[in-house]
Structure 1
Amino acid sequence: MIDVIVIGAGPAGLAGAISCAENGLKVTVIDEFVRPGGRLLGQLHQEPSGEWWNGIKESERLHNEAQKRSVDIRCGVSVYNLEKDKDSWNVHTNIGTLIAPYVLVATGAAEFPIPVPGWTLPGVMSIGAAQVMTNVHRVEVGKKGIIIGANILAFAILNELQLAGINVERIVLPEKSPLSQNAGEPEEVMKSLLNAAHLAPSPILRFGSGFMKNEGFRKLGMKFFPKSGVKVNGTPLQLRKAALEILGKDQVEGVLTVDIDVNGNVIKGTEKIYEADFVCIAGGLYPLAELTAVAGCPFQYVPELGGHVPHHSEKMETPLEGLFVAGNITGIESGKIAMAQGTTAGISIAKHAGKGSTDINEKLEQAMKNVHTVRQNAAIQFNPEIANGRGKIYELWDDLYGKELDSLQEIG
């Protein structure tokens, strides 16, 4: 019999499975990809300390740790429904229905699509797809590329493409529209990028970013932002240019761009075509939380967390008995934070199941503290207001469910 089913074999799911198994639970992990690791598989970057973060090696470490603890990992398994039946959860998959009293949903995040005319041409891909093709499958995505969209994820993967010897000619914005939203507004993009200014390759950029955080200086800076862009590891970041259309007959041949003002409005008569044989669209990430919605879990829209997230506590519980969450499904953050949350979820599940040692409460408190520590030391924050977002969702939990849980514990 299975005690815990973990949906998602990424950093949160694998860490959660290890934590559950360490506390005496029998665990099965399922994932639709052909190998475990999730988004870790594509990650390769240098930390501010100088050390390299190799996602493939990290995923192998987690995989080995899970196997040592007899965790059953099944890849190529897709989940299409999740429902509660008395004291157990039924997880309906393409290989049949799996049943367990506890489920940890660690499905991660997905990329926002930003429609650009011509985006169905061969050679157009999301920035995440370029990362996987380059770092996982070792496939060269092209010879000369353009990234449409400027955000923290785009910069991280730009560096990875450059390390692989792939030439990215420039980064431009998508055209301002209801679909592109803030991604098409230069000043809003600049505000988001300033929170990663400590990672900028140039001391001048790092120094200047301090002034740019002031609204007045930022507006002035955007007004005089060079049309040729500011180079990021050799690639021009052009915040005053937008992509109107991706051009090509049978595959990508170029991108039609136009100059834009500080508010993202098109300046007519400034159209220009840049040659390219591949285009990456970078729309950012949002929590991939549909399965918890199918299960009946209530949601809250928290923009600081990346979108709609399931109601959950700091112990990674949801209001549905036996259903837990961890990782980017709860808000967009790094793989290290996802692992810390997974560990917390595993200990929390063990506590609910009556497993673990006598110091299980102390372990849970320590795991939650570790999530805070890892977050504070994170080199990259996808959203600078993440702490406020976490505070909102935990305050919501206390308001809606805290008293109810306290009453149940008193009865018990």
Structure 2
Amino acid sequence: MGNKVIIIGAGPAGLSAAITLAEKNIGVVVIDEYLYEGGRLLGQLYEETPNKWWNGIAESERLLARAKELNVEFSLQTSVSDLEKIDQDWVLHTNKGVFHTKQLLLATGAAESPFPIPGWTLPGVMSVGAAQVMTNVHRVKPGKRGVIIGVNVLSSAIAMELQIADVQVAAITLPAANLLTINSSNPLEVMNSLLYVSHMAPSPLIKIGSKFMKNEILKKLGIRFYPKDGVKMWGIPIMLRKAVIEIVGKDQVEGVVLATVNIDGSIVPGSEKRIDVDFVCIAGGLYPLAELASLAGCPFHYIEQLGGFVPLHNEQMETNLTGLHVAGNITGIEGAKVALAQGKVAALTIASKLGASVTQIDIQQAIENVETTRANAHIQFHPEVLVGRQKMKEIWAQTLSHTLS
């Protein structure tokens, strides 16, 4: 096992990297804790342009077929509990034994950030990603009629997927303001993030209106006069002036209590109103799933534009620890296509270290492909992702100069 590259994570970054390495005749083992390969791809289904769909399941099947054709080895339902460096080897402790490798790629992806709301422990409350997996992977409806709490790029995309599956979404609304929902409960902050998903809206009026909303004065006016009952996208009211203050029900979700909010997110007293639903999705956004990099001893930096704490890495997807590489959402929250492109960069970097026929031009072209893919991304999870990427470049350069001095 020690002479094979190990990749943790069978999502888009991991599969892309595995294929690239195997094409260079390098042995690969891909470890994942889930039942199937594909990661977050398995839940994705959205229209990129009129009549052109991104089907994550079809994409994962295509990647998996190519990986198996190249004899990539998979170890599924395998959880990594510890990670350490012993001599020149990375040693992985799992529920299926100990794995050794000299070159390790962490492609662990992202996890969801929930936020607490009174009643959130009732059966029928779930993360928006769980609703996506239930619907698109397992073909089970999360309920008949629900509410999504949290207005952001992720909730907007998944709401559309639920509608396609004939699941009624009564509204996408804000959470009530508390210490854990500071940005997601502020109508102005939320409108900023929505501007980067407006191109997905079926209404030309919303698409045109979003261009005007990039002016700060017009934005504040837009929030002030935003309809209390929301603006509909795909027939779903997007409510920037309503917040869920409580989820109600005896033995399961039976409804939510909505209240009108002022432009600063504060509740308007006496505006509470109950609506009936049988499920609730909480959409608090995504953060890089980077615990294994932490166990390895990799330094971290908090970069808000990348979704939180991100392991130190360079454009070649190397960390500052010999033999440890990262790719995909562990490096910052972006879409599957960016993760696919990053996986290729990481694989080429690893292959060059192992003596395969890879030139610096090959690696540079792959890096440029990541940048092009990012620039053309259909969905941007953070409007200032380029700022975040630049920050990481600067931190890496500073770290390198300190090391050399």
**TM-score normalised by L of structure 2:** 0.98
Deviates more, 1:188-197 or 1:246-255: 188-197
Structure 2 spans left out of the alignment, 5+ residues? none
CA distance, structure 2, for counterparts of residue 35 and residue 402 of structure 1? 42
Match of 1:380 in 2: 379
User: Distance between the aligned counterparts of 1:90 and 1:49, measured in 2?
Assistant: 48
- Quick one: distance in 2 between partners of 1:315 and 1:184? 37
Task: Name 2:271's counterpart in structure 1.
Answer: 270
Q: Percent identity?
A: 55
Q: Distance in 1 between matches of 2:50 and 2:119?
A: 41
Deviations 1:72-92 (A, max 9, x none): 011100001111011110011
How far does residue 3 in structure 1 lie from its aligned partner after superposition?
2.1
Letter of the aligned partner of 2:81 in structure 1? Y
Alignment of 1:33-52 (within 5 A): 33-48=34-49, 50-52=51-53
How far apart are 1:69 and its partner, in Å?
A: 1.3
Mapped partners of 1:46, 1:200: distance in 2:
10
The 8 Å contact of residues 11 and 37 in structure 2, kept in 1 or not, is answered as: yes
Report SS of the residue matched to 1:181.
coil
Counterpart mapping for 1:107-126 below 5 A: 107-126=108-127
Does structure 1 conserve the Cα–Cα contact (< 8 Å) formed by 2:317 and 2:325? Answer: yes
Partner of 2:324: 323
Structure 1 CA distance for aligned equivalents of residues 369 and 350 of structure 2: 17
Q: Which amino acid aligns with 1:346?
A: A
Corresponding residue for residue 369 of structure 1: 368
Question: In the alignment, which residue of structure 2 is the partner of 1:298?
Answer: 299
Residue identity opposite 2:398 in structure 1: D
Deviation of the 1:403 alpha carbon: 7.3
Structure 1 counterpart of 2:388: 389
Alignment of 1:83-162 (within 5 A): 83-162=84-163
In structure 2, the partner of 1:333 is: 334
Q: 2: distance between equivalents of 1:351 and 1:404?
A: 23
Secondary structure of the 1:182 match is coil
Q: What amino acid is aligned across from residue 250 of structure 1 in structure 2? A: D
For 1:339 and 1:217, locate their aligned partners in 2 and report how far apart those are by CA, in whole Å.
38
Give 1:5-404 correspondences, 5 Å limit. 5-48=6-49, 50-354=51-355, 356-357=356-357, 359-401=358-400, 404=403
Secondary structure of the residue that 1:184 maps to in structure 2?
coil
**CA deviations over 1:126-157 (Å, ceiling 9, x no partner):** 00000000000000111111111100000100
Asked if the contact 2:16–2:340 (Cα under 8 Å) also holds between the matched residues in 1, the reply is yes
How far did residue 110 of structure 1 move? 0.4
User: What SS does structure 2 have at the residue aligned with 1:195?
Assistant: coil
CA root-mean-square deviation: 1.2
Deviates more, 1:206-215 or 1:276-285: 206-215
- Give the distance between the partners of 1:150 and 1:103, measured in 2 at CA: 37
User: Structure 2 CA distance, aligned partners of 1:123 and 1:197?
Assistant: 29
Secondary structure of 2:338's counterpart equals helix
Deviations 1:41-93 (A, max 9, x none): 00011112631111011111111111111110111000011110111100110
- Please list the CA deviations of residues 166-189 of structure 1 after superposition, one character each: whole Å capped at 9, or x if unmatched: 111111100011111200101100
Q: Report how far residue 402 of structure 1 moved.
A: 5.5
Q: Gaps spanning 5+ residues in structure 1: where?
A: 408-412
Find the residue that maps to 2:195 and give its secondary structure: helix
Q: CA deviation at 1:21?
A: 1.5
Could you give the per-residue CA deviations for residues 259-289 of structure 1, whole angstroms, max 9, x where no partner exists? 1100000111111001000111111000000
Change in CA separation of 1:295 and 1:148 when aligned onto 2, cut-off 3 Å: same
Matches of 1:147 and 1:333 in 2, distance apart?
21
Amino acid at match of 1:17: A
Distance 1:213 1:364 in 2: 37
**Structure 1: 4+ residue segments shifted above 6 A:** none
CA distance in 1, matches of 2:83, 2:26: 21
- The DSSP-based 3-state class of the residue aligned with 1:170 is strand
Task: Give the distance between the partners of 1:100 and 1:228, measured in 2 at CA.
Answer: 56
